[in-house]
Amino acid sequence: MKIHFLGTAAAEGFPNPYCRCDVCCKARSLGGKNIRTRSSVLIDGIIKVDYSADSHMQALRDGIDLGAVEHLLFTHTHYDHFQPSDLYNRVDGFAHGIDHPLHIYGNDAAISQSIPAIGPDAGDRFAFHLLRPFETIFLGDTQVTPLLANHDRMETCLLFYIEKGGKTLFYGNDTGWLHDDTWEWLKGKAIDMAILDCTHSYTNNDRNPNHMGIETVLEVQRVWREEGNLGMDGQVYVTHFTHNSGFLHDDFERAFEPAGIKVAYDGLIVDL
């Protein structure tokens, strides 16, 4: 699998374009890996996880052909992950040379909101699929199992366990300490690479029910090592950073370097 980090920021972006805090000002001044757009990944050029308002710019920045994407997985409908009205740009007459439908997958809220957002011009350019937690689907030669996130009490938010070619990817964003049912499902499952939410920096390991911080990520890694999910060659990458953490890219790298955890940044490509 080829995992391309399109964006690595939390909801407001990093820096927040409206914010004048010290961290946002430093991020603007330093640039580089400190400039983050809203979180999304692209897998093998054909599977996209989430669609924020930054998707258009991310595609231009990284030279991505969004017309080649075949599958779009929504984790949930919070605005930084879910902007289905932008998908109207793929309808017949706006986009030419499209030879396959875009298959859209999500919970009932994501599907019920996507259909009217695209509208009656969707035609055969789109196909919609309702996901249910722990029910595996097949996207060609890729197997995806939606898992429960611990994020929003009013929505069934999803994480994804993705398998292809003998390799496994755990996509764990957005979530706090994992849902009990997800921990149970993961027993005995191998994880070759995990992408984990690290919205916060240090939080006194309070096992926040919405997002993780540094201590929680380290605790998840420890449990996975002890239970055999994550072998010594298993990789963990953190993403979904907020300026309210008070940490810039180098700060997160220093915090995670002893544990061998990698800090993702916009445009990073990892071959699994």
Tell me the average confidence (pLDDT) per consecutive run of 10 residues in the chain, 272 residues long: 98 98 98 98 98 98 98 98 97 96 98 97 96 98 98 96 98 96 98 97 74 95 96 95 97 98 98 96
**3-class DSSP assignment, residue 55:** helix
Which pLDDT score is estimated for 206? 65
Strands, E, within 94-157: which ranges?
A: 102-106, 126-130, 137-139, 142-148
Which pLDDT score is estimated for 55? 98
Which pLDDT score is estimated for 205? 61
- What are the structural domains, with CATH classification, of the chain? 2-271 (3.60.15.10)
Which pLDDT score is estimated for 202? 86
Which pLDDT score is estimated for 204? 65
pTM above 0.85, yes or no: yes
Going by their DSSP bridges, the two strands 142-148 and 158-164 should be labelled as: antiparallel
Which pLDDT score is estimated for 7? 98
Backbone φ, ψ for residue 7 (5° rounding): -150, 150
**3-class DSSP assignment, residue 204:** coil
Q: Annotate 7-24 with b (16+ C-beta within 10 A) or e (fewer).
A: bbbbbbbbbbeebeeebb
Write out the two tokens for 87: 């998908």
Q: How far is CA 177 from CA 9, 14, 28, 215, 233, in A?
A: 19, 23, 31, 11, 23
